[in-house]
C-alpha cells in the first residue's frame, strides 16, 4: 500500500467514532501485552540461584509483596496517574516528553540542549527494549513445550523465529486491525491469569499477607549486598511500563488508564500471588512456576494462549518504535523514511517498513545469540530502567515549569521516583557482562546516528547559508526582462528562507527561465505534536513575482505540502495545482577537514544523507511536477 492512498487526520482526538470501549479494548491488546506476559518468567528469575533468594515461606511473601508494591508505585502511581498526564497534546513517549521539558526551559538554552540530548539518549534506549521484548516474550512462551514434551526442546528456537517473522509481517495491516484482533485474546489472557491465580490463592490464602507493604520493606532490607541481583529480577515485572506511555498517541490517556485499573492490574496481582501460593505448597514447581499453575490437562491450551499473548506482547514496543521514529524524523533526529498511515481516523497509527524489518533482524539475532528466556533476562531491564529514570528526570521540568507545582512538591516526587529508578538500574547493571551490554550497545549506536544526523543537518544549513546568496538583495537586483518568462508557477523548497535556493540559481543559469510566480517554500517542524490548520501557513509577498511561504507542522502532523499550498488562496496567492512545478535542490554532502565534526561522523552523515528518503515522498509532492537539481555542500 502506498502512503498516499490513506490520508491521515489532522488532530490527536481519540474518543471519536471508535468510542471509549473500542479504544480500551485496542489498548488492552496493544499496550498491555508486554507487561502482561511478565508472569511467564519473573518469579522463576527472582528465585534463580544467582539472586541468592532462598525459596521459603518468608521470602515468598516478601518477594510477591515487593512485586505487588513495585507495580503500585512504578506503574500505577508514576505512569498511569502521573506521567500519562504529561502528554504533549495527546502524544506520549520519550521524545514527546523531551519536547515538553525543552519547551518548559526554553529561556535557558544550555539546559534545553542538555535535556534534548538526554531525551534523545532515552529514545535510543527504547529501541533496545523494542528488540529484547519480542525475543524474551515469545521465547519464554514457546519454552513451555519443554514442560509438555521434553523431547521437543530442539524445536523451541525454530518455532520462536517462525512466530516472530509472522508477527512482523502482519504489522503492515496497522495497529487498529492488530488491536481489534489482539484485544479479545489479551482480555482472555488476563482473565485466565487472574482466574488461575485466584484458584491457587484459595488453597493457600496465607499469600495474601503480601498485600502488607511491610513485608516488601523487610524483604528488601534483608537482602544485604545481594539486593541488586534481586531487584534485577523483580524489575522484569515492570517491563512494558515505558511502552504504555509511548503508545498513548495510539489510543489516548483514558482508555489506557481504564484498562489498567479495571483488568490488567488485578489480573497481574492475582497471578503473582497465585504463583506464590503454588510454591508454598509445591517448592519443586519453581522449575517453571507459571506453567505449573495449570493442571496437566490444561497445559497445551495454556501454552497456545501464552504463545498468542507473547506475540501480542511484542506489539506494544513495536508500535512505540514506529511512533518514536516518526517523532524523531519530524524533530530532525533521523533522516526521512517512508511512513504508511494505516488508519483514516487516527494519525498515530502508522507503519514504517524500514524500521519493521530492521527490528525483525535484530530480534532474531537476539533469539539466536542468547538461546533462552533466562539468558535474555540478563539482557533485559537495563535499557528499560535507564529509560524510566530519564523519564522521571524530564518530568520534573514539566511538573515544575509547565504545571507550576511548588518546588518542594515537584522535588520530593522526583527524588522519590529517582531513588526507586536508581535501585532498579543498579540491579540491572550487575548483569552488564551477562547480556546487559546488548541493549546498551544498540542504544549507543542509535544515539550516535541520531545525534550525528542532528548535528550534520545543522552544519549543512550553516554551509548553505555561508555559501548562498541573500534572497532579498538578489530579488531586488534581478531583472525579469533579461530571461525568458514562463506562465507557470515555480515552487522552490528551501531550508533557509533567507538565502536563494540553489534550484532557483540553477534554473536561471542553465535554463534561462523565470516563472511568473515564484514561491520560496520553507517547512517548519515544531516541538508540539499538532499545529492546527488555522496556523498552518504564512504568506509574504517579496515582489510582484516572488512570494515567501512558510508551512508549519507539529511532529505528529502529516507533511502534505500540496494540501497546505491550497490555503494560500485566502492569503492572496493562487497556486494552480496543475500549473505548478516543484524545483528541488538535492544536496550532496561533501565531508571536509575542519571544525564541524570528526571525519568519521561527517562520513556517516554523508552516507545517511545519501540513503535518506526522498523529499517528494515525504512531503507528498506530485511525481509528475517535480524537477530535481543537484548541488554539492561542504560541511
Residue-level pLDDT at 7: 35
Grid coordinates 508477527 are at which residue?
167
Supply the DSSP symbol for 547.
Answer: E
Is the predicted pLDDT of residue 17 greater than 80, yes or no? no
Using the 3D structure, point to which of 421, 455, 489 is the last residue of a domain. Answer: 455
Q: Band of the pLDDT at 60, cuts 50, 70, 90?
A: very high
pLDDT at site 457: 87
pLDDT for the residue 343? 58
Average pLDDT of every residue of the chain:
85
Question: Grid coordinates in use for 395?
Answer: 518530568
| 190 and 131 within one domain | yes
Residue range 32-48, pLDDT digits in tens: 877 888 998 899 999 98
d(CA 31, CA 432): 28
Residue 345 has pLDDT above 80, yes or no: no
d(CA 500, CA 481): 19
- Express the helix, strand and coil content of the chain in percent, nearest 5 each: 70, 10, 20
- Find residue 492's DSSP bridge partners: 520
**pLDDT per residue as tens digits for the range 108-163:** 889 988 998 898 898 888 888 788 888 888 888 888 787 777 777 788 899 999 98
d(CA 625, CA 385): 49
Same domain, 209 and 255: yes
Least confident of 146-155, 271-280, 405-414: 146-155
DSSP code at position 19: H
Return the higher-pLDDT residue of 605 and 174.
Answer: 605
Residue 428 grid cell: 540491572
Q: Is residue 295 part of a domain?
A: yes
For the cut 90, the answer to whether the pLDDT of residue 210 exceeds it is: yes
Which residue is associated with the grid cell 508540539? 528
Same domain? 448 vs 530 = no
The answer to whether the beta carbons of residues 349 and 378 sit under 8 Å apart is no
- pLDDT score of 178 more than 90: no
Residue 23: predicted pLDDT: 81
CA distances from 59 to 256, 423, 608, 615 (A): 33, 19, 52, 59
pLDDT for 107 equals 85
Q: Is residue 85 part of a domain?
A: yes
pLDDT in tens, 412-430: 999 999 999 999 999 888 8
* Per-residue confidence (pLDDT) for residue 580, from 0 to 100: 93
- Provide DSSP, 162-180: HHHHHHHHGGGG-HHHHHH
pLDDT at 43: 94
pLDDT band (50, 70, 90) for residue 196: very high
Distances in Å between the Cα of 508 and the Cα atoms of 501, 515, 547, 583, 604 are 11, 10, 17, 12, 33
Which pLDDT does position 517 carry in this prediction? 92
Mean pLDDT, rounded, for 288-313: 87
Residue 213 pLDDT: 96
Whether residue 45 is contained in a domain is answered as: yes
Grid coordinates in use for 310?
A: 507473547
Distances (CA, A) of 575 to 152, 568, 581, 622: 67, 7, 10, 14
Position 347 pLDDT exceeds 70: no
Residue 220 belongs to a domain: yes
- Confidence check: pLDDT of 16 > 70: no
Q: Look up residue 10 and give its three cell numbers.
A: 489532522
461 within some domain: no
Residue 432: per-residue pLDDT: 84
Domain span holding position 550: 469-634
- Cβ–Cβ < 8 Å for 219, 65: yes
The answer to which of 339-343, 458-462, 536-540 has the lowest mean pLDDT is 339-343
Residues 414 and 540 in one domain: no
For residue range 96-112, what is the model confidence (pLDDT) as tens digits? Answer: 888 888 888 888 889 98
Confidence of residue 6 (pLDDT cuts 50, 70, 90): very low
Taking the C-alpha atoms of residue 405 and residue 231, their distance in angstroms, rounded to an integer, is 32
* Separate counts of helices (H) and strands (E) for the chain: 26, 8
367 and 420 belong to one structural domain: yes
Residue 233 is assigned to a structural domain of this protein: yes
pLDDT category of residue 368 using cuts at 50, 70 and 90: very high
- State whether 150 and 124 are in the same domain: yes
Which of 387, 334, 351, 392 is closest to 126 using CA atoms? 387
pLDDT surpasses 60 at 12:
no
CA–CA distance, 401 with 395 (Å, rounded to integer): 10
Residues in CB range of 428: below 8 A, 6 or more apart:
231, 232, 235, 380, 381, 382, 384, 385, 436
Task: Examine the domain organization and report whether 25 and 173 are in the same domain.
Answer: yes
Q: What percent of the chain has pLDDT over 70?
A: 93
Of 43-47, 236-240, 445-449, which gets the smallest average pLDDT?
Answer: 236-240
Distance CA 259, CA 33 (A): 12
Is there a single domain that holds both residue 111 and residue 247? yes
Is 463 within the bounds of a domain?
no
Do residues 432 and 382 touch, judged by C-beta distance below 8 A? yes
Point out the least confidently predicted range of 29-33, 204-208, 278-282.
29-33
Q: Please compute, for residue 573, the number of CA atoms within 13 A of its CA located in the half-sphere on the CB side.
A: 31
- Whether 589 shows a pLDDT value over 60: the answer reads yes
Residue 595 has pLDDT above 80, yes or no: no
pLDDT for position 61 = 96
The Cα–Cα gap between 240 and 74 comes to: 11
Evaluate whether 363 touches 169 at the Cβ level (below 8 Å).
Answer: no
Q: What percent of the chain has pLDDT over 90?
A: 35
The reported pLDDT for the residue numbered 342 is 67
Residue where one domain finishes, among candidates 423, 455, 487:
455
pLDDT above 50 for 510: yes
Q: Find the angle CA(434)-CA(439)-CA(443) to the nearest 5 degrees.
A: 145
Q: For the chain, what is the domain count?
A: 2
Q: Do both 387 and 514 map to the same domain?
A: no
Is residue 293 within 8 Å of residue 275, measured between CB atoms?
A: yes
Alpha-carbon distance 191 to 169, whole Å? 28
418 and 281 both lie in a single domain? yes
Q: What value does the mean pLDDT take over residues 20-43?
A: 84
If asked whether residues 198 and 229 sit together in one domain, one would say: yes
Higher-confidence residue: 531 or 1?
A: 531
Q: Is the pLDDT of residue 544 over 80?
A: yes
- 448 and 478 assigned to the same domain: no
CATH number of the domain encompassing residue 294:
1.20.1740.10
Give the range among 136-145, 203-212, 298-307, 344-353 with minimum mean pLDDT: 344-353
Report the distance separating Cα 156 and Cα 136, nearest Å: 12
pLDDT of residue 4: 34
Amino acid 13: pLDDT = 45
In a domain, 464, yes or no: no
Neighbours of 412 (CB within 10 A): 11
- Domain limit, last residue, from 402, 429, 455: 455
Q: What pTM, to 2 d.p., does this model score?
A: 0.76
Amino acid at each position: 500500500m502506498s502512503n498516499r492512498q490513506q490520508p491521515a487526520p489532522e488532530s490527536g482526538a481519540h474518543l471519536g467514532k471508535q468510542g471509549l470501549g473500542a479504544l480500551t479494548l485496542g489498548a488492552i491488546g496493544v499496550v498491555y501485552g508486554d507487561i502482561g506476559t511478565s508472569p511467564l518468567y519473573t518469579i522463576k528469575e527472582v528465585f534463580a540461584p544467582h539472586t541468592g533468594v532462598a525459596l521459603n515461606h518468608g521470602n515468598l511473601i516478601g518477594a510477591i509483596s515487593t512485586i505487588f508494591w513495585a507495580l503500585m508505585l512504578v506503574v500505577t502511581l508514576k505512569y498511569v496517574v502521573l506521567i500519562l498526564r504529561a502528554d504533549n497534546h495527546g502524544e506520549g513517549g520519550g521524545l514527546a516528553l523531551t519536547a515538553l521539558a525543552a519547551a518548559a526551559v526554553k529561556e535557558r538554552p544550555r539546559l534545553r540542549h542538555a535535556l534534548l540530548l538526554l531525551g534523545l539518549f532515552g529514545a535510543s534506549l527504547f529501541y533496545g527494549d523494542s528488540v529484547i521484548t519480542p525475543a524474551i516474550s515469545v521465547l519464554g512462551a514457546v519454552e513451555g513445550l519443554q514442560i509438555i514434551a521434553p523431547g521437543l526442546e530442539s524445536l523451541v528456537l525454530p518455532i520462536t523465529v517462525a512466530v516472530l517473522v509472522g508477527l512482523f509481517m502482519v504489522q503492515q495491516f496497522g495497529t487498529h486491525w492488530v488491536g481489534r484482533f489482539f484485544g479479545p485474546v489479551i482480555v482472555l489472557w488476563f482473565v485466565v491469569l487472574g482466574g488461575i491465580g485466584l484458584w491457587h490463592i484459595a488453597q493457600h490464602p496465607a499469600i495474601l499477607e503480601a498485600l502488607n507493604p511491610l513485608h516488601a520493606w523487610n524483604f528488601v532490607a534483608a537482602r544485604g549486598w545481594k539486593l541488586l541481583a534481586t531487584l534485577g529480577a523483580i524489575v522484569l515485572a515492570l517491563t512494558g511500563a515505558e511502552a504504555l506511555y509511548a503508545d498513548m498517541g495510539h489510543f489516548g490517556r483514558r482508555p489506557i488508564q481504564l484498562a489498567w485499573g479495571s483488568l490488567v492490574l488485578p489480573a497481574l496481582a492475582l497471578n503473582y500471588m497465585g504463583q506464590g501460593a503454588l510454591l508454598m505448597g509445591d517448592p519443586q514447581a519453581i522449575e517453571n512456576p507459571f506453567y505449573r499453575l495449570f493442571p496437566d490437562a490444561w497445559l497445551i491450551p495454556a501454552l497456545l494462549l501464552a504463545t498468542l499473548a507473547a506475540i501480542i506482547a511484542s506489539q506494544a514496543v513495536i508500535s512505540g518504535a514506529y511512533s518514536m521514529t516518526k517523532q524523531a524524523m519530524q524533530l530532525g533526529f533521523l533522516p526521512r523514511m517512508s511512513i504508511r498511515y494505516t488508519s483514516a481516523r487516527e494519525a498515530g497509527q502508522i507503519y514504517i517498513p524500514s524500521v519493521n524489518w530492521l527490528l525483525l533482524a535484530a530480534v532474531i539475532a537476539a533469539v539466536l545469540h542468547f538461546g533462552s528466556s533466562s539468558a535474555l533476562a540478563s539482557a533485559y531491564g537495563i535499557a528499560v530502567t535507564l529509560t524510566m529514570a530519564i523519564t522521571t528526570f524530564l518530568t520534573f521540568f514539566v511538573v515544575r515549569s509547565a504545571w507550576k507545582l511548588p518546588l518542594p512538591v515537584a522535588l520530593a516526587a522526583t527524588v522519590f521516583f529517582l531513588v526507586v529508578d536508581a535501585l532498579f538500574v543498579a540491579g540491572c547493571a550487575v548483569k552488564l557482562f551477562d547480556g546487559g551490554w546488548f541493549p546498551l550497545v544498540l542504544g549507543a549506536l542509535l544515539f550516535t546516528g541520531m545525534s550525528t544526523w542532528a548535528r550534520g543537518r545543522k552544519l549543512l544549513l550553516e554551509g548553505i547559508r555561508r555559501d548562498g546568496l541573500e534572497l532579498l538583495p538578489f530579488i531586488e537586483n534581478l531583472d525579469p526582462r533579461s530571461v525568458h518568462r514562463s506562465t507557470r508557477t515555480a515552487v522552490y523548497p528551501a531550508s533557509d528562507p533567507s538565502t536563494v535556493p540553489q534550484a532557483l540559481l540553477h534554473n536561471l543559469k542553465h535554463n534561462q527561465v523565470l516563472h511568473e510566480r515564484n514561491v520560496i517554500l520553507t517547512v517548519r517542524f515544531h516541538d508540539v505534536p499538532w499545529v492546527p490548520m488555522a496556523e498552518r501557513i504564512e504568506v509574504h509577498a517579496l515582489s510582484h513575482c516572488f512570494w515567501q511561504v512558510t508551512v508549519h507542522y507539529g511532529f505528529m502532523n502529516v507533511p502534505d505540502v500540496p494540501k497546505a499550498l491550497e490555503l494560500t488562496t485566502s492569503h492572496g496567492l493562487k497556486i494552480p495545482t496543475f500549473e505548478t512545478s516543484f524545483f528541488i535542490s538535492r544536496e550532496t554532502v561533501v565531508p571536509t577537514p575542519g571544525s564541524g565534526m570528526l571525519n568519521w561522523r561527517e562520513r556517516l552523515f554523508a552516507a545517511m544523507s545519501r540513503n535518506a528518503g526522498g523529499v517528494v515522498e515525504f512531503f507528498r509532492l506530485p511525481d509528475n511536477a517535480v524537477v530535481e537539481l543537484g548541488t554539492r555542500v561542504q560541511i
